[in-house]
Chains A and B, each alone.
Chain A
């Protein structure tokens, strides 16, 4: 009986279902937390990538952006590296 009353109550109120919201939010926040990398490591990756890319491309070092971005259920390392030009390699004879 109380189940029916609860069901009727739910028709007229906005109660119920907030746990699904909680669960979704929790899952998302944990994806971020679990992949959180210290800023020192991020800076190191950034520096090493700049070195590698600089061998082939001329890049704007000050314009480099590095961040971790959360998608639906994954996290991506997003790098934005502005290119000034291509380095001309000396041709080997």
Chain B
């Protein structure tokens, strides 16, 4: 039986979809069978982040409304054979799917996959309920900013109210230089404010922008600090005890040289 993990945040733009794509590919690279479910109906994005946008035939609403079988709608990622995507519908809204539909869908996926990772939409309305209801575990993504932490607090409260007791936090886009200078909340500051366990810290990393541009996951790139951090999170999900590492860009001769060339 698989495990259903929802990735949520309240606030938009903090990196939910990036987290889903990277944790999903990280788990798949560790030989886990993974299904990624885009629950952001009407504003689908997970397909483009994964680079699978040209392969969509059916979507989640087609499955729920019986026009397609689950297997027909799932898109297998050719780069990671154990990774599948169930895309959101683009021309419908959140009301097209109910929390009960999502539970039924995930129960079916659980039989086939080790992990089902749901990309929750921003906000705390129907789409959020759809995404959270079937989850066995919730990962809340925040950035070290007042607005994002505030929304994370609200979401943590809602998760508790929905009796989701297994909730973990990712602090995304941490900029060590700003933290050292006292101009950014540190991970410790965020944890002091939110009463929730940490599952990972992701440094701000331009590799993310490049990988999203290309539609290629980051996790196999050992030069990318964010990619390594997502790999660590995947290992923690698998139960490994991995120390919290704040990876930084490797500044060897070649990267220095490349930077020098770019400057000119």
Contact A19-B154, Cβ < 8 Å, known A25-B146, A26-B193:
no
- A29 contacts across to B, CB distance below 8 A: 146, 150
Instruction: Give the complex CA separation of A25 and B183 in angstroms.
Output: 14
Bound form: Cα–Cα A18–B178 in Å: 10
Is A10 close to B, CB under 8 A?
Answer: yes
Q: B258 near A: Cβ within 8 Å?
A: no
Known A23-B189, A26-B193, A27-B193; contact A18-B150, beta-carbon cutoff 8 A: no
Residue on B with the closest CB to A27?
Answer: B193
Chain A interface, DSSP helix/strand/loop, else mixed: helix
Chain B residues 179 to 197 lying within 8 A of chain A, measured CB to CB, are: 179-186, 189, 193
Interface of B is mostly: helix
Neighbouring B residues of A16 by C-beta, 8 Å: 181-183
Contacts of B145 in A (CB 8 A): 22
Instruction: Report if A62 contacts B (CB, 8 A).
Output: no
Quick one: CB contact mask for A1-27 with B, threshold 8 Å, 1 for yes? 000001000100001111110110111
**Complexed CA–CA distance, A23 and B194 (Å):** 12
In the complex, which residues 29-63 of chain A have their Cβ closer than 8 Å to any Cβ of chain B?
Answer: 29-30, 33-34
Interface residues of B in 134-159 (CB under 8 A from A): 145-146, 149-150, 153-154, 157
Q: B182 to A19, Cβ gap below 8 A?
A: yes
CB distance from A25 to the nearest CB of B (A): 6
Contact A19 B184 (CB under 8 A): yes
Given contacts A26-B150, A33-B153, A34-B157, contact A17 B193 (CB under 8 A): no
Chain B residues near A15 (CB, 8 Å)? 181, 183
Q: What are 11 residue pairs bridging A and B, where the CB atoms are less than 8 Å apart in the complex?
A: A6-B180, A10-B181, A17-B182, A19-B185, A19-B189, A20-B182, A23-B193, A25-B146, A29-B150, A33-B154, A34-B153
A: residues with CB less than 8 A from B are 6, 10, 15-20, 22-23, 25-27, 29-30, 33-34
